Structure 1
Amino acid sequence: MSRTGSPIAVTGATGGIGRRVAARLGARRRNQRLIVRDLAAAPAVVGADIEQIGPAGYRDTAGMVNALRGTETMLLVSGRESAQRVVEHAEAVQAAVQAGVQRIVYTSFLGADPDATFTFAQDHYATEQLIRETGLAYTFLRNSQYLDYVPRLVGADGVIRGPAGQGRIAWVSRDDVADVAAAVLAAADGVHDGQTYDLTGREAHTMAWAAEQLSAATGREITFRNQGVQEAYESRAHLPAADFELDGWITSYVAVGTGEMDVVADTVERIAGHPAQDLPDWLAQNPESWAHLRS
């Protein structure tokens, strides 16, 4: 069977989302172009073209324009957290315009807003605005926090600490995000243009509930302890992290506490065609994610 459609450009193809999307588009036999910095780390997807950009990533304008030429749709996977992430995204968006891309599907964040409590959600809103201003067709996938992160929230002493209070959040799996992204990218022209989709799990829960699920999975007592914001900063002051990272980590908890993350959407089931994963199922299917908590 031949492959169909003009190539879909998949950025961040060596990462957690891009790699999954590339595999799903490959299974759909869609033409795609994987844009990577490290050729050796590129996923092995039959029939996919691979284009390498420089170590500057999205800021390698010439490399990005060259990699995007001849594609009509780009999956813009948000860059890793950095103080210059919006600038990096702006470079990628402008490269898409120069290369003649007609549609951008962007992995944004739930509650993206200039006044969002979570500082990184402000960055995502700024990127959405940059994309809107190009006049290109777009779809924004506003993901909740990833299920993958939940086991990483636990300290060495078995405690999740943060100023989240009794706030609730519906974590979403990367697999579900990739399923939705692949479906959107492969859909007929115009079906998802101009749409903003919230991607969440099936139910919203507290951090204390998450600790209970981790306890059940690991056989170790794991608890949640609420912190004040100042206490949260003080308890992380020893970490080798830049100010913007600390702000992002701590405000991610605060946003849960304010209710900004208490959103449940049916996007995964409606677009991907199956129920979203929940934390207990995900932990059962991914024991490697919490193996370090058993030691």
Structure 2
Amino acid sequence: MAWMLLVCSLAVFTTNSIGGLCRALGAHGSKDASWALRADALMHRDHQDHREHRDHQDHQDHRERCADLTAAWLHNSRVQAADKSTVLHLSVRPASAGASRGSVFPEQPLFSLVRRVYRCCQEAGECRSVRGLQGGFLAGGPDVEFLLSRDVLFLSVRRVELHLQLSNPQHVNIQPVLPLLANKKLPTRFISRSQGDTTELRVDLLFFFQRLQAAAGGPGGGRGLAKMMLPSPRHQLQDDQQHGVWGEMGVALGCSREGVPVTCQSGQVRLLHSPFLAVYYR
């Protein structure tokens, strides 16, 4: 009977058919049934432990994603990017000027960010107000246009990020450079996050947004870095319905592998989605 109990306890952990056979063999004694019940309980406990571990891991991952929303900036102090062919030209226009080109609908990365901010507010208590501004590529080149309504310029802004989702199959190191800052020997602040073959860059554009606000007479008044970057004499925002431009700047990407500069093209780096702006405000 001892060998039968051993077979029974092992068989329950394999397949239902073998377990059924085992229970039939052990039907002559009550101890056999108790062994089967104990084995079933162990399986249930293992499944519960696995589920609790998975829930704990999901909760930990969620907290890390929430903490990432306010992660500290990295600094890129290089004056020039390694690959000048990866320069993106950004322009900000009044929303009325883009009416003839139709609406720009948010893409999946922007929806994901807003959903993450909302979940973090619900579950972690880290509530922040965010306005997502989807950029759109203009035909004929790597030019990205953002359409802003004037009310956005009067928000009490805390943080402004340019989000870039990039395909990075060779896992090269990618760092952004803002020529507007590099020309004044100021660092570009950014956050890099990689998952699989995708790299997300978040570039600090608070100074640029405050520059627009200062020209519009909005909050901030051109304090700090924004004041340093204001043109002299100060220009007012143009509000031409067809061709008005509120601000322009370039963003370059520099790629390297183990500290050695390479072209981003050789690393097969490319944009997966149109960039978007995340404007956090009080």
Structure-1-length-normalised TM-score: 0.21
Name the structure with the higher strand share. Answer: 2
Structure-2-length-normalised TM-score: 0.21
Highest RCO, 1 vs 2 (Cα 8 Å, sep ≥ 6): 2
Structure possessing the higher radius of gyration over alpha carbons? 2
